[in-house]
Amino acid sequence: MPVFRLVPPVEPSAGQAAILRLKRMTPDWVLQCNRCGSRTSMTLVNGAEVRNGRIQGGTVILRHVCAECYKRGVTQFMLPDPPRLVKPPKPRRRKLKLVK
Residues of this chain that bind Zn ion (CB under 5 A): 33, 35-36, 38, 66, 68-69, 76
Q: How far is the CB of 15 from Zn ion (least distance, A)?
A: 19
CB 31 within 8 A of CB 39: yes
Nearest one of 76, 67, 79, 18 to 39, comparing CA atoms: 67
Which residue, 42 or 68, has its beta carbon nearer to Zn ion?
68
CB of 31 to Zn ion, least distance (A): 11
Toward Zn ion, which CB reaches closer, 36 or 42?
36
From CA 32, how far away is CA 35, in angstroms rounded?
9
